[in-house]
């Protein structure tokens, strides 16, 4: 499949997916960009590192923004704290030019992504995943 076809496929996948699966796609994208930022950092590609870190930070901001703080209870509060920590930690890593900060967030993000993947694939867990109430799902971030 050519690059245009892949981009269209991803766009279609994001615009037709339920909210639980969208969360997984956002995590997948953030993980991909963090891995690329790590590689760029190790190879000395400062611009590539900055671009990929910024894309990861954009996704984290989108995840944070999508939390339902009115109905989400402790889960939403804890996720908000975690997303803020990830953002702060990655910014500290940018300032200190230390790949360890990327590794820290990457490890946590992979673990949580695994949990989200499990949740959206289990019919009995569907009540834990945000339901699409007919409103437009926000998916501004290109994955």
CATH of the domain at 105: 1.20.120.340
- pLDDT number for residue 137: 46
Domain count across the chain: 1
Q: Does the residue 134 lie in any domain?
A: no
Q: Which two tokens stand for residue 62?
A: 């989108």
Q: Does the residue 3 lie in any domain?
A: no
- pTM given for the model: 0.76
Q: Does the residue 2 lie in any domain?
A: no
Q: Does the residue 13 lie in any domain?
A: no
Domain of 93, in residue numbers: 19-122
DSSP element (H, E) containing 44: none
Residue 139's pLDDT band (boundaries 50, 70, 90)?
A: very low
Work out the average pLDDT over 58-74. 94
- pLDDT number for residue 83: 98
Work out the average pLDDT over 114-134. 70
Q: Does the residue 61 lie in any domain?
A: yes
Q: Does the residue 53 lie in any domain?
A: yes
Q: Which two tokens stand for residue 105?
A: 């967030």
Q: Does the residue 135 lie in any domain?
A: no
End-to-end CA distance of the chain: 17
Q: Does the residue 143 lie in any domain?
A: no
Residue 20 main-chain phi, psi, to 5 deg: -60, -45
Distances (CA, A) of 34 to 59, 72, 123: 11, 27, 30
């Amino acid at each position: 499949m050519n690059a245009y076809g892949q981009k269209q496929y991803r766009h279609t996948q994001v615009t037709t997916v339920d909210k639980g699966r969208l969360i997984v796609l956002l995590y997948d994208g953030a993980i991909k960009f963090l891995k690329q930022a790590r590689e760029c950092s190790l190879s000395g590609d400062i611009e590539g590192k900055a671009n990929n870190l910024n894309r990861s930070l954009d996704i984290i901001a989108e995840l944070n923004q999508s939390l339902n703080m009115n109905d989400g209870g402790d889960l939403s509060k804890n996720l908000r704290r975690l997303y803020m920590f990830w953002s702060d930690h990655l910014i500290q890593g940018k300032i200190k030019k230390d790949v360890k900060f990327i590794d820290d967030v990457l490890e946590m993000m992979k673990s949580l992504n695994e949990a989200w993947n499990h949740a959206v694939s289990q019919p009995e867990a569907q009540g834990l995943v945000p339901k699409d109430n007919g409103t437009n799902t926000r998916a501004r971030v290109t994955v």
